Structure 1
Amino acid sequence: MIEIKQVSKHFAGHRHAIDTLDFTIPDGKIVGFLGPNGAGKSTTIKMMTGILPIDEGSISINGFDIAKNTLEAKKIFGYVPDQPDMFLRLKGIEYLNFIGNIFEVPKDLLKKRIETLTQQFDIYNTLDDYIQTYSHGMRQKIIVTGVLLHDPNIWILDEPLTGLDPKSAFTLKEMMRNHAKAGNTVFFSSHGLEVVEQLCDIVAIINNGKLIFYGDMGEMREQFQSDQSLEQVFLELTTDE
């Protein structure tokens, strides 16, 4: 569970990037995080993961405050950033072993998970190549693989499907479903409204740093007295704002 309580963030010379954000991401659910470009999605996720400091309010990961109990919180979640261009001078296998060692995954288990996950994402045969030679999609796959190696309870994914081929995107979506069904938490941002509508149990919509909707599709239709698609409601909400 992720609890975001009255969180605000501002940058010098600008209005609030995030304005008193308050909602809970429960266990056993896939929560989709939507908003126009510049709405505050990545800023929120970077505060959730401890990359950016929180100016006001608090965020807890399974009861651990991300600001006060940073290491304990970071052991619980896996984070896929919006840009996969990291550790480019390492070979794929070097990167995965590095991540596995950080999270103290036993060697035999680490080897098994690397083999299983990289075969699922069709990058097993490229592990001896340098990441800088990978395409964008392959870099995305290696980052996702690294995130899953320590089998975290909570997945925090910023545009995780970007650049993935259809087969790998399907594989990741099935992993997300199974992870949530096992009682775990999946929180991901996306610009793909159809994917969110099909995949998510709960939708959170942010605009201008404020949460403007949080609930499931049934609640959305009830609130807006409409049978419109998520795309139509999203466009109306964000345009009005």
Structure 2
Amino acid sequence: MVSALSTRDLAKAFGSNVAVAGLNLEVPRASCFGLIGPNGSGKTTTMRMCAGLLRPDRGGVLVDGIDVWADPVEARRRVGVVPDPLLLFERLTGIEQLVHIGLLRNLGRIETETRSRGLLEVLGLREAADEAIGDYSHGMRKKLSLATALLHRPALLLLDEPFEGVDPVSAMTVRQVLDRYREAGGTVVVSSHVMEVLQKVCDHVAIIRRGEVLAAGAVEELSGNSTLEDAFISIVGEAPTDAALLDWLDAPA
């Protein structure tokens, strides 16, 4: 079976800084696939290349077997993206953002407005629907970005830090929406530093460092009898520190 998302020897450098170094991933259909790694490990760069927002120096990306760069229109039709940083129209209201995107996606006005109102209601944004996005909090902007990504019902969602700045109640709602999406066959790739959330929502993960995959597979296989956080620290390794550098903290206030 063709994977929902495949990367083949994906590589990207910014000058002398190698962000991604020959990265290979296979994301099963209808899975929630977590991409985790330390700061600067290449997660966001990888997500941007998978979304077709950043051209790789080497390698390729396939969405449902379609090459993102050889057939970008068809590939992007199948993808919804919550990027980091967010890409929203600050001067539009929440409902205007969604209707604008829906019409660009050729959904038709009635279908677009129906879906938009439903997403705003479920994600707790109904009362802010007519407010300018520039006045939204960070968490509200995250939820609106998710609504924008979901609006055309893509086959694949690419979510870069979707739970950052989102309160616990809203995070639970987002998880429920994603679960329903996956039950209908949708695939989610999520990058996050919140291990507890990833443990709850993901069934597969890839742990990367310095743009390379250190380990990948089912969450229960990688974590075993411990937590995903313990597995992550074990695989990546703890950063060496010299406690003596902070001896001044031991002095009385």
Q: Is the 8 A contact 1:29 1:181 kept in 2?
A: no
Q: Cα distance, 1:166 vs. partner?
A: 1.9
For residues 6 and 166 of structure 1, the distance between their equivalents in structure 2, rounded to whole angstroms, comes to 37
**Structure 1 position 182 matched with structure 2 position 184:** yes
For residues 218 and 156 of structure 1, the distance between their equivalents in structure 2, rounded to whole angstroms, comes to 22
Partner of 2:49: 47
Q: Cα distance, 1:240 vs. partner?
A: 6.3
Q: How does 1:49-68 map to 2 (within 5 A)?
A: 49-68=51-70
Q: Cα distance, 1:59 vs. partner?
A: 0.4
Q: Cα distance, 1:57 vs. partner?
A: 1.0
For residues 59 and 13 of structure 1, the distance between their equivalents in structure 2, rounded to whole angstroms, comes to 23
Q: How does 1:66-77 map to 2 (within 5 A)?
A: 66-77=68-79
For residues 24 and 108 of structure 1, the distance between their equivalents in structure 2, rounded to whole angstroms, comes to 37
Structure 2 runs not aligned, ≥5 long: 240-253
Structure-2-length-normalised TM-score: 0.89
Partner of 1:214: 216
One-letter identity of the residue aligned with 2:198: V
Partner of 1:228: 226
Partner of 2:243: none
For residues 29 and 168 of structure 1, the distance between their equivalents in structure 2, rounded to whole angstroms, comes to 22
Q: Is the 8 A contact 2:34 2:198 kept in 1?
A: yes
CA deviations on 1:134-157 (whole Å, 9 max, x unpaired) are: 111111121111111111111110
Structure 1 runs not aligned, ≥5 long: none
Structure 1 runs (4+) greater than 4 angstroms displaced: none
* 2:16 counterpart (13, 18, 25): 13
Q: How does 1:1-241 map to 2 (within 5 A)?
A: 1-14=4-17, 16-84=18-86, 86-221=88-223, 227-239=225-237
- More divergent stretch after superposition (47-56 vs 178-187): 178-187
Q: Cα distance, 1:219 vs. partner?
A: 2.3
For residues 190 and 215 of structure 1, the distance between their equivalents in structure 2, rounded to whole angstroms, comes to 17
Count of residues in Structure 1 that have an aligned counterpart in Structure 2: 236
Tell me the secondary structure at the aligned position of residue 59 of structure 1: strand
Q: Is the 8 A contact 1:11 1:17 kept in 2?
A: yes
Q: Is the 8 A contact 2:95 2:117 kept in 1?
A: no
One-letter identity of the residue aligned with 1:61: V
- More divergent stretch after superposition (39-48 vs 57-66): 57-66
Q: Percent identity?
A: 35
Q: Cα distance, 1:21 vs. partner?
A: 0.7
Q: Cα distance, 1:85 vs. partner?
A: 5.8
For residues 178 and 142 of structure 2, the distance between their equivalents in structure 1, rounded to whole angstroms, comes to 16
Which is higher, the Rg of structure 1 or of structure 2?
A: 2
**RMSD of the alignment, in Å?**
1.5
Tell me the secondary structure at the aligned position of residue 100 of structure 1: helix
Q: Cα distance, 1:235 vs. partner?
A: 1.2
- More divergent stretch after superposition (205-214 vs 100-109): 100-109
Tell me the secondary structure at the aligned position of residue 52 of structure 1: coil
Q: Is the 8 A contact 2:79 2:154 kept in 1?
A: yes
Tell me the secondary structure at the aligned position of residue 86 of structure 1: coil
